[in-house]
Structure 1
Amino acid sequence: MSRNYAGLSRERIIVEALHIISGRGLGGLSMRRLGDALEVEAMAIYHHFPLGKEQLFNAIAAYVASPSPSGTAPADGEDGAEETEEEAVDTRPWDVRLTDWADTHRARMLAYSGALSLLVHRAPHTPDSDATRALMHRAFTDAGLTGEDVVRAADALHSYCVGAVVHQVRHADDEDAPDEAEAEARFHLGLRALLRGLT
């Protein structure tokens, strides 16, 4: 097996781990199997994840939960938090901002549905999670909410998105399961109702 680790990166490791999870489930992911898929010795992975599988799981959860469409692998610390430049303030209507975020978050969770259980048990603190929190708080503040209601509304929106995806994945093989277009329409119906109810 090759000992040339020049092309090995946190992101490459995470993406390959997600491929394994997609085919074999979380239980099928081992450092040895991951090393084989990457064509490196398993110990090479520990250079990027010195705390082992738990640190890798945290990084996978952060990657899947990224609000960025492409997603970026976190770089430093157990959860991979690193400093980022402050983004320009989004001046679109508050509900458009939240709907765009919800659509992107839903799409990423569906794309990596095998790792959904990691999001249930882990909430990595990363620049992306900070950006998501700031986006939601600004939007709900612009909608007229104040104080703790802003935090409660953000929690409700996040919970709705995760719950809707879990429900869709859980029932994907049902005989009467909706196709993707109908599933998306149902998601938007519930999202609109939630945002109206919260504000």
Structure 2
Amino acid sequence: MDDEREHDPDSPEGRGASAAVLPAGPPDTGRRGLDRRRVLGAAVEYIDQHGLGALTMRRLGAHLGVEAMALYRYVPGRENLLDGVVETVIDELYGDPDVHMQAQHGWQDFLQRLAHGVRRIALAHPEVFPLIATRPPAAPWLRPPLRSLRWLETFLDALLAAGFSDEAAVAAYRAYSSFLLGHLLLEVSHRGVKISPEDEPEGGAADATADLEQHPTIDRLEPLLSRDESAAEFEESLETLIERLGRVLEESSARSARRSTS
């Protein structure tokens, strides 16, 4: 599994374990250098290391070397902290050199790059990704994981400039979001991350030791079933989605042409 991740260009292992969040650094004896950005970076770091369920204001304060009350100057409470964590992680897209803010080489290339950027975030912060998927967005029509107004504006502008109609561009956003959310939630859950409070922490281990004597076909194919093909599956599914959106664009252009000649 580790070898497979090292060869996955989107994984932290494949990227040299790089991460874009501001690390907490060594604990302080006071509030030297403490600000909202550092607090949120420390919260992401803490969740990465210990899981979302372990995060409290007291523990985050200890992680930073300050009293919990010192954090309330920068984050009014846990809910505001969690919203800030989501924003901080999504903002990593802006620092990803392989993700473009404009469709410089066509809309297909733009969507490919953006999708892999979101996947890199999910693999770098698997414990945070379910939070990205479940926190209430700023507007009810914003869909995770691409839940930033700035990114939505960029996404829609890229498709509209390519010839998508308003309806087709919005439909593409919905299909694209559903693809990313479904695939990446499944991928992080395979890595042992709890997607919901009802998930059993030991569920994966129990399944791995299941008695397969009554299921000979599964027993024979278990090595293949256990193989991590996440990177290839993501790429193939993304290509299929983009091909389907290409057909949507053709149909949208054809309808526009018919209206202009009628």
State the TM bucket, normalised to the shorter chain. 0.7 to 0.9
Contact 2:86/2:132, CA 8 A, preserved across alignment: yes
Q: CA deviation at 1:124?
A: 4.4
Pick one of 57, 62, 65 that aligns with 1:36.
Answer: 62
Deviations 1:144-191 (A, max 9, x none): 321222112112112211221111111236764444xx4222111101
Moved more, 104-113 or 115-124: 115-124
Alignment correspondent of 2:235: 188
Contact 1:64/1:109, CA 8 A, preserved across alignment: no
Alignment correspondent of 1:78: none
Alignment correspondent of 1:74: none
Determine if the alignment matches structure 1 residue 122 to structure 2 residue 135.
yes
Pick one of 164, 170, 191 that aligns with 1:151.
Answer: 170
Q: In 2, distance between residues paired with 1:171 and 1:112? A: 14
Equivalent positions of 1:61-80 (< 5 A) are: 61-66=86-91, 67-69=93-95
Q: In 2, distance between residues paired with 1:90 and 1:69? A: 17
Q: CA deviation at 1:100?
A: 0.7
SS in 2 for 1:48: coil
Equivalent positions of 1:97-136 (< 5 A) are: 97-125=110-138, 129-136=148-155
Counterpart residue identity of residue 161, structure 1:
L
Higher relative contact order (CA 8 A, sep 6+): 1
Q: CA RMSD in A?
A: 2.6
Determine if the alignment matches structure 1 residue 14 to structure 2 residue 40.
yes
Contact 1:18/1:115, CA 8 A, preserved across alignment: yes
Q: TM-score, normalised by structure 1?
A: 0.79
Q: CA deviation at 1:143?
A: 3.8
Contact 1:98/1:139, CA 8 A, preserved across alignment: no
Q: CA deviation at 1:15?
A: 2.2
Q: In 2, distance between residues paired with 1:111 and 1:31? A: 23
Q: CA deviation at 1:120?
A: 2.0
Contact 1:16/1:38, CA 8 A, preserved across alignment: yes
Pick one of 158, 168, 186 that aligns with 1:167.
Answer: 186
Unaligned runs of 5+ in 2: 1-26, 140-146, 193-203, 209-224, 247-262
Contact 2:28/2:64, CA 8 A, preserved across alignment: no
Q: CA deviation at 1:57?
A: 0.3
Number of matched pairs: 179
Alignment correspondent of 1:60: 85
Q: In 2, distance between residues paired with 1:168 and 1:121? A: 16
Larger radius of gyration: 2
Deviations 1:42-98 (A, max 9, x none): 111111112x0000000111122232236xxxxxxxxxxxxxxxx975432111011
Moved more, 54-63 or 14-23: 14-23
Deviations 1:82-133 (A, max 9, x none): xxxxx9754321110111111111101221110122122225449x812211
Counterpart residue identity of residue 37, structure 1:
H
Contact 1:69/1:104, CA 8 A, preserved across alignment: no
Q: In 1, distance between residues paired with 2:124 and 2:28? A: 30
The runs of at least 4 aligned residues of structure 1 exceeding 6 Å deviation read: none
